[in-house]
């Protein structure tokens, strides 16, 4: 692969970094990242990955843009209200960086489609930008079963958390949280509220993890849960214990088929 003059200039601040360089930038351009959910977390993650020159970005979302999304889902604009989020996201990315090929999946993930979506472009890394626990467990299980690395994140009110799963390098999301909570126990963002910037902070951390993984640099949030409290402005990483009897990633896994847990609508 050869860089054009325009690409040399566009990615010059990356190329100058020893840890990236021309080789790393080519790696990014040849990489494929799937972003599930183009809301509070997925929007900033997608935008930074697009700006960074990740060559293929997949967007999965069945939703259409609503006015109440715009306080935090910065990939969408006022003119996009009513448009499918994946289309609005694709247009923003195309405007930002013509080097990026955007794949759109205008559907919710379920046990029936998630494997095909991940395999569609044989994505290198998956970002969980979803807002609900059934989807989070589904993404975890699918990634573990397909041996794919992914970044989990969740936000609510003034709090956020994120961790990275890489096959064989630490606990998965299910190791930590076992099973989704009962649907009626979880207040949604709609009910609980969320500070708009929370998605930006946690979503860009997810994008950083994806880039680090693709480049093979630094230490990932594997085996660690990063917890952020915006009101105290405190980041803490909790070293996670391992669960050798995890039903999906443990020594004797029993979970072989993906599960569709009962879902309650919530928008992140």
Binding site for another protein (CB under 8 A): 130-133, 136, 154-157, 159-161, 176-178, 181, 185-189, 191-192, 194, 225, 227, 236, 238, 240-241, 243, 266-268
Task: At 97, list the tokens.
Answer: 């960086």
- Shortest Cβ 261–another protein spacing (Å): 12
Q: Residue 75 or 198: which CB sits closer to another protein?
A: 198
Q: For residues 235-260, b (16+ Cβ closer than 10 Å) or e, as one string? A: eeeeebeebeebbbbbeeeebeebee
Question: How far, in Å, CA of 162 to CA of 123, rounded?
Answer: 20
- Shortest Cβ 21–another protein spacing (Å): 36
Between helix 197-215 and helix 42-51 the angle, nearest 10°, is 40
Question: How far, in Å, CA of 1 to CA of 80, rounded?
Answer: 35
Output the CA torsion 159→88→186→157 (10° steps).
20
Q: Residue 30 or 267: which CB sits closer to another protein?
A: 267
Bridge-based pairing state of the strands 234-239 and 224-229:
antiparallel
- Shortest Cβ 22–another protein spacing (Å): 39
Among candidate residues 227, 226, 225, 231, the one with its CA nearest the CA of residue 158 = 231
CA torsion sign for 171, 176, 179, 183 is negative
- Shortest Cβ 229–another protein spacing (Å): 10
Q: Residue 157 or 212: which CB sits closer to another protein?
A: 157
Q: Residue 217 or 240: which CB sits closer to another protein?
A: 240
Cβ neighbours for 74, distance < 8 A, ≥ 6 positions apart: 43, 44, 47, 200
- Shortest Cβ 45–another protein spacing (Å): 15
Return the ∠ at Cα 213 (arms to 18 and 97), rounded to 5°. 75
Q: Residue 25 or 161: which CB sits closer to another protein?
A: 161
Q: Residue 51 or 240: which CB sits closer to another protein?
A: 240
- Shortest Cβ 197–another protein spacing (Å): 16
Q: Residue 191 or 257: which CB sits closer to another protein?
A: 191
- Shortest Cβ 156–another protein spacing (Å): 4
Bridge partners, residue 237, by sequence: 226
């Amino acid at each position: 692969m050869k860089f054009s003059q325009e690409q040399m200039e566009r990615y010059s601040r990356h190329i100058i970094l020893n840890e990236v360089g021309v080789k790393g930038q080519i790696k990014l351009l040849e990489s494929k990242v799937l972003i599930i959910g183009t809301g509070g977390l997925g929007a900033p993650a997608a935008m930074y990955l697009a700006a960074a020159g990740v060559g293929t970005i997949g967007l999965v979302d069945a939703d259409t843009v609503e006015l109440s999304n715009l306080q935090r889902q910065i990939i969408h604009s006022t003119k996009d209200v009513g448009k499918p989020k994946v289309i609005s996201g694709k247009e923003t990315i195309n405007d930002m960086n013509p080097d990026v090929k955007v794949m759109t999946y205008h559907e919710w993930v379920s046990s029936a489609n998630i494997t095909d979506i991940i395999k569609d472009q044989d994505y290198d890394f998956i970002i969980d930008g979803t807002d609900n626990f059934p989807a989070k467990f589904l993404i975890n299980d699918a990634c573990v079963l397909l041996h794919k690395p992914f970044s989990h994140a969740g936000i609510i009110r003034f709090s956020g958390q994120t961790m990275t799963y890489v096959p064989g390098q630490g606990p998965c999301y299910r190791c930590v949280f076992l099973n989704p909570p009962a649907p009626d126990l979880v207040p949604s963002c709609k009910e609980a509220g969320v500070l708009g910037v929370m998605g930006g902070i946690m979503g860009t951390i997810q994008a950083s993890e994806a880039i680090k993984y693709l480049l093979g640099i630094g230490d990932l949030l594997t085996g660690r849960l990063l917890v952020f409290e915006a009101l105290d402005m405190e980041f803490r990483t909790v070293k996670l214990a391992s669960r050798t009897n995890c039903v999906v990633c443990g020594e004797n896994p029993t979970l072989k088929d993906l599960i569709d847990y009962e879902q309650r609508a919530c928008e992140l």
